[in-house]
Amino acid sequence: MSKLFPTYEIGSIAKPRWRVKGYAGRKLNQADLDDAEKWAKILGIDYSKVETVLKGDSPNRKQEIVDLSALYVLKMFEKAGLDYVYDGEQWRVEMYEHVIRNLGGFKFSGWIKSFDYRYFKKASVVEKVSYKQPYYLEEYESVKKQTNLPLKVPITGPYTLTDWTYNEYYEKKHSNIKSFPRRRYEARKELIFDIVDEALRPEFKKLADAGVKWIQIDEPAVTTKETPEEMELFVDAYNRLTEGFNIEFSLHNCFSNYNLLAQYVPSLKKCSQLSLEFANRDVHEEGQSHPGYDGLTAFLDNGYKGAYAPGFLDIHTDFIESPELVRDRVLYVADLVGKEKVWVTPDCGLRTRSWDVAYQKLLNLTKGKELAKELA
Amino acid sequence: MNIKCSISGCLPRPPRLISETRKYDRSRINEEELEAAYRTYTKEVIDYQVEQGLTYINDGYLRRQDLLRPFTTKLKGVETGQLYRWFNNNTFYRIPLIKGKLEGKAPFNETYLDLLPKAEYKAVLPAPYTFVKLAKNEYYESDADFLQDIAEIINAEIKALEKQGYTYIQLSDPALVYHKTAPSKNEISSIAAAIEIATSGVKARTGLQTYFGNIEPVLADVLDWKVDDIGIDYYETDADAVKEYSFKGGVSLGLVDARNTLKEDSDELVSICNEVIDASNPVSLMVATNCDLDFLTWEEAQYKIETVAKVAKQLKEEQR
C-alpha cells in the first residue's frame, strides 16, 4: 500500500434496522431481513449464517447481532477500499452514553432539548468518577478478529465527556470557594482530570496491552466555551491522557471554531494528525478552486506540525461527491499543507446517512484519492 | 425591601409532552393532538409555579422552539436559517436571516393566556442587542439601523402583551455579557438607545436579564438604562464584584443554576442576597434562576423552582 493519501472513516455508521430491532429483542419483519440479505450480497458476506442468527433464538443472540453489524461495517469499509477500518461504532449506544454508562459516579436523568423536537440524554456526576469495567476493549478484541486491515480506534475525549455532564459531586466538594464562577471552574478541572485518570487511562492501558496502535480522540465539544482557560483545560487533559502510552494518537473535531482550535493544537504533545470538517465548508464544483479548505492555514500559521485529514465528504447531505471532486479537493489541500501530510476521510462519522449514500460516498472517496495520486 | 421571585425564561417540556412532540415529529399525531398536549402540560407548569408562590408566572413557553423563533418565523423581512450553537451550550437555535425591512403585527408571540391564573404574569422576549448579534443581517446597512428597527418591533410587542395583561416584561440579553458577543465601548450608547425605544411608554415592570457571561464590564453603563430590574448571572459574575455598585432600581439575582442539576444550599443563596441588599441597596430584589430552565428535565426544573421560592421566602422572613 502506497503511503500517499491514506483513507479511513471517522467513526459511526447508521445502525441497520435489524441491528436496532434485533438488539432490543423486537421481532424482525421481512423488510429487515431483505435489507440484511441485500447488504450481505453487496459486501460478500455469507447470508445463510446471518439468517441463522437473525431468525434464531440463541441465548447470545444480542451479542451475535452486534458482531454481525460490526462485520457488515468492516466489510463495507474494506469493500470501499479504505486503508484503516473499524466497526462504525456498532457496539456503542452513542459516543457519550456508551462511556458514561460503564463508569461509576454518574446518574442519567431524562431527555433534554437539543433543538426543535430533538432531545439528548445527559448525566450528572454524583460521586467521584470510578472505573467499573472495560468499555472499549471487548469491541476492539472482537473487531481485530474480523479483519486483517489495520485498525483505528475512535474514543470520546475527556473534554467532551466533561462538558456534556452536570457537575454535582465536584461542585459540592468545592463549596468552600465563595465565587460561583471560580467554584465551577475548579470543579470542572477536577472532574476532567478524574475522567482522565480514573476512567480513560485505565482503559487505554488495557487497549495498549491488547495491541492497539492508533487511537483517535473525539472531542466535538472542545471549542464550545471558547475561552483561553477552557482551551488550556482541554490541552492539559489531552496531554495527561496520552502521556506514556506507546500508541499513536490523533484528534477529531468538527463543526467548531477552527481559528480558536488552531491556536491550541500545537501544544498537544502526542497528536500525529487532525481530522477535521472542511467539505461542509467547500463548494460542490470540481476544479482548482476549493476555498472551503483555506481555513487550514490557521493550523499551519499556528505551527501545527502533524498531518491533516481535513474531510472530503460532507456528512450532512445526500449529495454524492464525485471522484473528480474528491480528487480536486485532495490536490488543493496537498498544495496547502504538502502532499505527504494529507489523509483522506469524510468530515465526521457518516451515521446520519443511509447505507446506500454512505457506501457510495466512500467508494467515490477512494476513487478520488486514486485519481489524485496519479496527478500528485 | 421588596422581595420577589420568578424564573428567568422558559421551562422544559415535561417528559410526556416530549413523547408527544416526538410522535408529532414522526407524523404519528396531528397538529390538533399536539396542541392539546401543549395545553395540558402548559397548565401543569403554570400550576406548579403558582403552587410554589412565584411572584411572576409565565406559561413556560413550551411551544417556543427558541427565544428568537417567534421573530424568525412571524416577522416580515426574516427567513429561518440553519442551526447555530446557543452560546456555549450543547443546544442550538435557528438563525434569523434578515432579508428585508423588519415588519410585524403585534403580538406575534403566542402565549397560553387563557391558562394563566389571575396573577402577575411575565413575558420573556429577546433584548434588541441579542437579537441583532444572533441574526445574520443581509439587509440593514449598519447594526445601528437594525438595532433601532428591532427595538421598535419589540416595543410594539411589549405594548400588545401589556394590553393582554402581562405586568412584567423580561428582555433576555445574553449577548450583552457573553465574552464573544459583548459590545465594544462605542456600541454601548446605541444599545442603551435601543433599550430606551423598546421600553418607551411601557407601564409594565421591565427587566434586562443577562446570562452566560459576566455583567461587570458593562454594569456601570447598564445601571443607567431604562429598565426597572437588572438581571445578573451569578455563575458567571463574581458576587463580590457586584457589591461594588449601587443600584438605582431593582435587581434580579440569577442565583439558582439552571445549567446544573446540583441542589443549591438555600442558606448560602440567602446570605448572598443579604450581602447585595446591604452593599448595593436595590429598590427591589428578585430571586431567580440564572437563565432559562430548559437545560434540565422538568423534574429537575421543579426543584430549581422550589429553591427560588424557598430562598425568597426565607429572605422575606429575615428582612421582616
Distance of residue A326 Cα from the nearest chain B Cα, in angstroms:
25
- Do A361 and A81 touch, CB atoms closer than 8 A? no
The reply to whether residue B25 touches residue A117, judged by beta carbons under 8 angstroms, is: yes
Query: Hey, which residues 175-204 in chain B have their CB within 8 Å of chain A?
Result: 179-180
Give the per-residue pLDDT at A1: 42
What one-character DSSP code corresponds to residue B263?
A: P
- Do B218 and B177 touch, CB atoms closer than 8 A? yes
Predicted confidence pLDDT, tens digits, chain A (376 residues): 448 999 999 999 999 999 999 999 999 999 999 999 999 999 999 999 999 999 998 999 999 999 999 999 999 999 999 999 999 999 999 999 999 999 999 999 899 999 999 999 999 999 999 999 999 999 999 999 999 999 999 999 999 999 999 999 999 999 999 999 999 999 999 999 999 999 999 999 999 999 999 999 999 999 999 999 999 999 999 999 999 999 999 999 999 999 999 999 999 999 999 999 999 999 999 999 999 999 999 999 999 999 999 999 999 999 999 999 999 999 999 999 999 999 999 999 999 999 999 999 999 999 999 999 999 8
- B166 forms bridges with which residues in the sheet? B121
The reply to whether residue B88 touches residue A175, judged by beta carbons under 8 angstroms, is: no
- This complex has an ipTM of 0.94
Could you list the beta-strand ranges (E) of chain A.
103-115, 118-131, 153-156, 165-167, 214-218, 248-252, 273-275, 307-309
- Do A333 and A299 touch, CB atoms closer than 8 A? no
The reply to whether residue A179 touches residue B300, judged by beta carbons under 8 angstroms, is: no
Task: Return d(Cα B61, Cα B65) in angstroms, integer.
Answer: 9
Alpha helices (H) along chain B: 15-25, 31-52, 69-74, 128-134, 143-164, 188-199, 216-222, 239-242, 266-280, 298-319
Work out how many CB contacts closer than 8 A connect A with B: 88
The reply to whether residue B261 touches residue A109, judged by beta carbons under 8 angstroms, is: yes
Q: Which cell numbers hold the place of B206?
A: 421591565
Instruction: Read off the pLDDT of residues A134-151 as tens digits, 9 standing for 90 and up.
Output: 999 999 999 999 999 999
Q: Give contacts of A178 with chain B, Cβ < 8 Å.
A: 239-240
Task: Return d(Cα A1, Cα B160) in angstroms, integer.
Answer: 70
CB-CB: which of B83, B260, B265 is closest to A166?
B260
- Do B169 and B122 touch, CB atoms closer than 8 A? yes
The reply to whether residue A168 touches residue B260, judged by beta carbons under 8 angstroms, is: yes
The reply to whether residue A115 touches residue B12, judged by beta carbons under 8 angstroms, is: no
Instruction: Read off the pLDDT of residues A328-373 as tens digits, 9 standing for 90 and up.
Output: 999 999 999 999 999 999 999 999 999 999 999 999 999 999 999 9
Q: Give contacts of B18 with chain A, Cβ < 8 Å.
A: 110-111, 119
CB-CB: which of B90, B268, B299 is closest to A109?
B299
Instruction: Tell me the torsion sign for CA atoms A137, A139, A140, A141.
Output: positive
Task: Return d(Cα A227, Cα A253) in angstroms, integer.
Answer: 17
Rg of chain B in Å (alpha carbons): 19
The phi, psi pair for A33, rounded to 5°, reads: -65, -40
Task: Return d(Cα B147, Cα A109) in angstroms, integer.
Answer: 40
Task: Return d(Cα A313, Cα A282) in angstroms, integer.
Answer: 10
CA-nearest residue of chain A to B256? A180
The reply to whether residue B89 touches residue A224, judged by beta carbons under 8 angstroms, is: yes
Q: Which cell numbers hold the place of B302?
A: 421543579
**Interface probe, candidates A107, A112, A191, chain B, greatest B C-beta count within 10 A:** A112
End-to-end CA distance of chain A: 16
Largest CA distance in chain A: 66
Question: What are the structural domains, with CATH classification, of chain B?
Answer: 2-66+105-319 (3.20.20.210)
- Do A16 and A28 touch, CB atoms closer than 8 A? no
- Do A129 and A102 touch, CB atoms closer than 8 A? no
CA-nearest residue of chain B to A110? B297
The rounded Cα A326 to chain-centroid distance in angstroms is 21
Task: Return d(Cα A260, Cα A272) in angstroms, integer.
Answer: 19
Distance of residue B197 Cα from the nearest chain A Cα, in angstroms:
31
The reply to whether residue B297 touches residue A112, judged by beta carbons under 8 angstroms, is: yes
- Do A85 and A366 touch, CB atoms closer than 8 A? no
For strand A103-115 and strand A118-131, is the pairing parallel, antiparallel, or unpaired? antiparallel
Query: Hey, which residues 75-134 in chain A have their CB within 8 Å of chain B?
Result: 109-117, 119-120, 122, 124
The phi, psi pair for A21, rounded to 5°, reads: -70, -40
Instruction: Read off the pLDDT of residues A204-239 as tens digits, 9 standing for 90 and up.
Output: 999 999 999 999 999 999 999 999 999 999 999 999
- Do A78 and A72 touch, CB atoms closer than 8 A? no
